[in-house]
Chains A and B, each alone.
Chain A
Amino acid sequence: MSTPMVLAEGVHKRFGRNEVLKGISLEVAPREVMCLLGPSGSGKSTFLRCINHLEKINSGRLSVDGELVGYRQVGEKLHELRESEVARKRAEIGMVFQHFNLFPHMTALENITCAPINVKGVARDQARDRGRELLGRVGLADKIDAYPAQLSGGQQQRVAIARALAMEPKLMLFDEPTSALDPELVGEVLEVMQQLARDGMTMVVVTHEMGFAREVSDAVVFMDGGVVVEHGPPSEVLGNPRHERTRAFLSKVL
């Protein structure tokens, strides 16, 4: 059996006295697409942010591709990783945000080439070639020199996906990538994500798009109140939920 891309065992996360994650255990295999569903406040986004150490977990074990997130284990003891080591690991994980978070002072192409040039040390010309290619792949070859403010929400999110892909990540995290979009722009973003899934990218997607979860994902996790309520293939969790809570949620969103 290959190493799971993401392995969570009893992950807990507190903000002050508010416990947001109360023991999350799950596994994402390489090339798998997992959708996290659940009401707002259920901890889906927090869990996603824990995976690339934007949030520190309080207890449990969380590892990506066989390596602990944020720590190194020496014997029984955990040692915090240096900032540069955390950064190096983050560079291997792509993340796409609800509000795109493109860098507004850079053009679409500069957004994409910034990290490869400055973090990975890729040559400028090479990074630009790759950037153009990626923009073409998300259908924005004509928007190379546009600033984010000149793009629609759907176009911005596609640039954001291209920006994450430019680092050649082994895992992509999507935090409600279509929630801030006009309904008619959702499709173009989902299409890009679907293509990515077909190309074999490992993806963890927090979403409210049930159609995407049903058609594209290999596994669906339903979370509520900081715990995993139900976990399984989409046909089971979405088609035939066993828990009352899942059923109640699905009846409202479908």
Chain B
Amino acid sequence: MSSPEVTEPGRPEEIRAVPVRHVGRWVAAAIVLVVAVALVRSAATAPGFQWSGVGEYLFDPRVLEGLRVTIELTIIAMAIGIALGIALAIMRLSPNPLVAGGSWLYIWFFRGTPVLVQLLFWYNIAALYPKIGLGIPFGPSFVHADANTVIKPFTAAILGLGLNEGAYMAEIVRAGMISVNEGQNDAAQSLGMSRLQTLRRIVLPQAMRVIIPPTGNETISMLKTTSLVSVIAVAEVLYAVQNIYSTNFRTIPLLIVASIWYLICTSVLYVGQYYLERYYGRGASRELPPTPLQRLAALATRRREWS
């Protein structure tokens, strides 16, 4: 493709006008700059931050072990949430009122109570159901075990976070499925596809474009919500730093350590979400948006052309 700067014979020359001065914007930019510098300066110089302590504990093995648990919890809880969400969303769109109603009731309950309360419930499940068994409903059970040995704190955390997430994901998935044009269903069915095939091959891949951004949000939110399970003694990253500062009282640097790890993880998730959105956006517009790397490369070549 030729660059637009090339002047053809007979073509009027490019307009080079004096740009308008945006005084208001400059003032706003100056204010932002002053505030930012003040904040950075105070953070860097205030002794309370104890940056040396941050460096000391950032890679502490106990913190890293907590980080591993945080990431593990996030992944497992989100996996349960997404699988459950898809199932609940499909149930909710079922023509059978009992199936749809069951899904509605689930969402109503798990969205309507705080996740912290749910976590405490799972943690104390043994008080509610001392024995847990597997068998025929209202009939004999084949295996049973003591609830306290089956539902360990980590299991309680996964159940609490995953089941709660399922309710939110169900609404996200349902919104995505509704957003797909009715004509897509017609076309798939007229080709002889079953309801399930239509869902899997046609509706869900298109719904993904609507589902991914809020799911990214949910994942980021989940990463931070895992900190709640410190109350049921699961040694994730917040629990780990709390454990350390409860003995040495270096509260602030250790909380900063936890915050830094949370920020690093959410940043990684941002990048992942960007590429996932790009993948599922294919076919939605004529050209895929450039990746940040491609954008950088384009900028560099343009700079070269100008100079």
A interface residues with partner B (beta carbon < 8 Å): 49, 52, 54, 83-84, 87-95, 97, 99, 101-106, 114-115, 118-120, 147-150, 160, 163-164, 167, 173
Count how many chain B residues have C-beta atoms less than 8 Å from C-beta atoms of the other chain: 24
Mostly, the B contact residues are helix
Q: Which residue of A lies closest to B195 (CB)?
A: A83
Chain A minimum-CB-distance residue to B281: A105
Contact of A103 among B189, B202, B280, B285 (CB under 8 A): B202
- Choose from A84, A106, A119, A148 the contact partner of B191 (Cβ within 8 Å): A119
Whether A148 and B193, one on each chain, are in contact in the complex, defined by CB atoms closer than 8 angstroms, is no
| Between-chain CB contacts (< 8 Å), 15 pairs | A87-B192, A90-B191, A91-B191, A94-B190, A97-B187, A101-B186, A103-B187, A104-B284, A105-B283, A105-B284, A115-B192, A118-B197, A119-B193, A147-B286, A173-B190
Residues of A within 8 A of B259 (CB): none
| Cross-interface CB contact of A54 among B189, B283, B284, cutoff 8 Å | B189
Shortest Cβ gap from B180 to chain A (Å):
10
**Is the Cβ of A93 less than 8 Å from the Cβ of B190?**
yes
Give B200-244 as 1s and 0s: 1 = Cβ < 8 Å from A's Cβ atoms: 011001100000000000000000000000000000000000000
Please name the 7 residue pairs, one residue from A and one from B, whose CB atoms are nearest each other, closest first: A91-B192, A101-B187, A115-B191, A95-B190, A101-B183, A147-B283, A104-B283
A84, B188: Cα distance in complex, Å: 14
Q: Residues of B contacting A119 with CB < 8 Å?
A: 191-193, 197
**A101-B184, A103-B202 are known contacts. Are A52 and B190 too (CB-CB below 8 A)?**
yes
Whether A105 pairs with B189 at a CB distance below 8 angstroms is: no
Q: Which residues of B contact A (CB under 8 A)?
A: 181, 183-184, 186-195, 197, 201-202, 205-206, 280, 282-286
Contacts of B201 in A (CB 8 A): 114, 118
Please judge, given known A-B contacts A83-B195, A84-B194, A104-B206, whether A150 and B181 are in contact too, CB under 8 Å: no
Across the interface, which residues of A come within 8 angstroms of B285, CB to CB? 149
Q: Which residues of B contact A87 (CB under 8 A)?
A: 189, 192-194
List the A side residues contacting B195 at CB < 8 Å. 83
Residue numbers in A under 8 Å from B283 (CB-CB): 104-106, 147-149
Residue of B nearest to A120 (CB): B192
Contact status B192-A88, CB under 8 Å: yes
Q: Which residues of A contact B286 (CB under 8 A)?
A: 147, 149-150
Most chain-A CB neighbours within 10 Å: which of B184, B192, B197, B206? B192
Residues of A contacting B193 with CB < 8 Å? 87, 115, 118-119
What is the CA–CA distance of A114 and B205 in the complex, to the nearest angstrom? Answer: 13
Say how far B250's CB is from chain A's closest CB, in angstroms: 52
Known A104-B206, A105-B205: A90·B187 in contact at CB below 8 Å: no
Closest beta carbon of chain B to A103's beta carbon, Å: 6
Contact A105 to B190, CB < 8 A, known contacts A97-B183, A149-B286, A150-B286 = no
